[in-house]
Amino acid sequence: MKRLKNIFPILLFSQTLISCGDTKTKQDIGQGALQNPVESKYDKVISDSTNKLSSKIENLDIEYTVWGCACPNWIQSKDKEDNDTSKNYLQLHFYIEPANTSLELPIYFDAFRHRLKITGQFYGREDHPQGTVKMEEEMPKAKVFRYTKLEVVDNPNFKPGSKVETLTLIFNAISCTCAQWSETRKSEAINRSQNFWLEPANNELIMADTLFDGENLPLIIRVTGQVIAEKGFPKRALAKVGQNEAGRVFRYSKIEVLQNGKRKTGRKVML
């Protein structure tokens, strides 16, 4: 659950409420506190270590619900789409728990753009994810699903609010793990908040960042698509990237290489 705090920044408030591992009040570590240690009321683990997993292994398609309470936030997609008013909507939600740290949510996960496909088991009793500590706002017990497999997929119901447009972009080759594409060349001294992360609309399109071979500049492309996030990341593995490097994400359905190095190509790539 610790990884939930890395969800898209708009979720930070609700995530802080449900984070099960790291959110604690700061302790006074002065000399007096060292001599007279006082246990914080927020250090108490409220999950039940004796709770056992069900023997039934399940595959779930789930979505994250954004609301401002210390509540379970995950719901099966089929239940969300059911629109059965006879069911208690809140009670359809549950907590999730990764089986190990390699299964924590990736930094690019966006509660509006994405869903999860997970495989695992529910615990036998309603509880909190293992390791959950007591918070100022009481967290209700609910079903907990411990997953051993995780896949982030696009949410088919997500509709970008921006218009379809065609951009001519240049690769900046900046020495950072940040967004590299801009409509005009920028130096490292300039604020890079307006740079673009690029995401192909499907697997048939080449990934724009792979066009740079480490030597040939300028690299200029023309892409057609939409901005799908003003502050986020593309759906792909990103190494050593922090939340401070979130930027505009442009999902393209067409890409054309205009120049790769000193020689102009005019070469279209995987339209």
Of 130, 154, 178, the residue that ends a domain is: 154
SS (H, E, C) 162-228: CCCEEEEEEECCCCCCCCCEECCCCCCCCCCCCCEEEEECCCCCCCHHHHCCCCCCCEEEEEEEEEE
Of 95, 128, 154, the residue that ends a domain is: 154
134 and 211 in a single domain? The answer is no
**What phi-psi label fits residue 9: left (phi over 0), alpha (psi between -120 and 50 degrees) or beta?**
alpha
pLDDT tens digits in sequence order for the chain, 271 residues long: 444 444 444 343 344 333 333 333 333 333 333 334 444 556 789 999 999 999 999 999 999 999 888 899 999 999 988 777 677 888 999 999 999 999 999 999 999 999 999 999 999 999 999 999 988 888 999 999 999 999 999 999 999 999 999 999 999 998 888 999 999 655 454 566 789 999 999 999 999 999 998 888 999 999 999 999 999 999 999 988 999 999 999 999 999 999 998 755 555 444 4
Q: What is the C-alpha to C-alpha distance for residues 10 and 146, in angstroms, rounded to an integer?
A: 25
Task: Please state the separation of Cα 27 from the chain's center in Å.
Answer: 30
177 and 49 in a single domain? The answer is no
137 and 22 in a single domain? The answer is yes
53 and 138 in a single domain? The answer is yes
Is the residue at 99 inside a domain? yes
57 and 183 in a single domain? The answer is no
Q: Which helix (H) or strand (E) holds 79?
A: helix 77-82
Q: What is the C-alpha to C-alpha distance for residues 270 and 106, in angstroms, rounded to an integer?
A: 27
- Domain hosting 169: range is 165-268
Of 154, 183, 208, the residue that ends a domain is: 154
Is the residue at 159 inside a domain? no
Count of the separate structural domains present in the chain: 2
142 and 184 in a single domain? The answer is no
87 and 197 in a single domain? The answer is no
35 and 135 in a single domain? The answer is yes
Q: What is the C-alpha to C-alpha distance for residues 26 and 46, in angstroms, rounded to an integer?
A: 19
126 and 183 in a single domain? The answer is no
Is the residue at 73 inside a domain? yes
